[in-house]
Structure 1
Amino acid sequence: MVKCPRCGYDNHSSTTYCENCSYILKGSSTGQKKGGWKMGTVKKIALIIGIIAIALILFSVIYNFTQPSNEESLNVIVADSNVQEGSSHPYEVKVVYDGTWYSKSGEPSSLQEQSNQGNHTFNLDCAAWDKVYVLAEKTDGASGVMKVQLIRNGEVVAENSTTDGTNQITINYQS
């Protein structure tokens, strides 16, 4: 005879459930878990943190592979939906002058300084969508013509000139 631990009823030794209250009796293999995951709380937390870490690493790898390269991100889509190939330096400044000159140019918050003599063309460290500022002045005080051109992807987008020996040339441009 097997006594039920819940209600105390005496059951036959072959019964699986108490005949009085339906409690699963000891010694019965039905309904008992054998060899399940017996894991402590610390191990469960470590397992969850490990799964989250693996998910974040996978997300990071997938995200990095789906981002465009620097060259691709500088391509410009114009109004007719054509892609206009950009470059890492889409703007250039061309100074046409026989004497010595000085310039500050680029995106207004980070201007590049140039000082040179004679005709010179140089790249600006600006993106195609940046506002561009150019300030050029003669440093020799001569009265010859000084011309400054702002070139974007090979095309002149702004131009200014002066013949005065002390005057400055400025160009403010935003596409």
Structure 2
Amino acid sequence: MVKCPRCGYENSATATYCDNCAYLLTDHKGNRLNNNKRTSSWNMGVAKKIVIVLGIVVIALLLFSFVYNNSQPSSEEALNVITDNGSLNHSDSYPYTAVVKYDGSWFSRMGDPNYLVDEAGTGQKRVLLDCASWERVHIMAQKEDAGEGNLTIQLLKNGNVVAQNSTTNATGSIEINYNY
């Protein structure tokens, strides 16, 4: 009996070709070939074939992932977010400006009541508020240095004072609620 080096089938001692896979077992003179080494690509083990197929699948998935991620719009583009590059005239879009006047240091919160912005400073400061004309506006200001001077806040809409409040109290805190 001669074992086929390709498929392992037991052939008769006189067989020239494997009865199972037709692999050449003898040369043209009838001598048995030394088939201890596997030379055919069919002799590759099943485990090696599985590793190669899995490698190809992984490479394909990585390539697909790369192409997919690079072809998607950014989060801002996907949400149609408009960003300000400084070319817009904010007074048209945001008509409200807050003015805080105090000779000492002060702290304030101002803007849409659901989205207040902290501001601090010394002396007078004008702050453009991120509020549309139909939104409510809230301004709170407080003295930080317990001074005796006058703390004044003004709300301007399109440049005109629409609300104002002031205090001379040393621990003074004042508010404006507009469009309620």
Q: TM-score, normalised by structure 2?
A: 0.49
Larger gyration radius, structure 1 or structure 2: 2
Q: TM-score, normalised by structure 1?
A: 0.50
Greater share of strand: 1
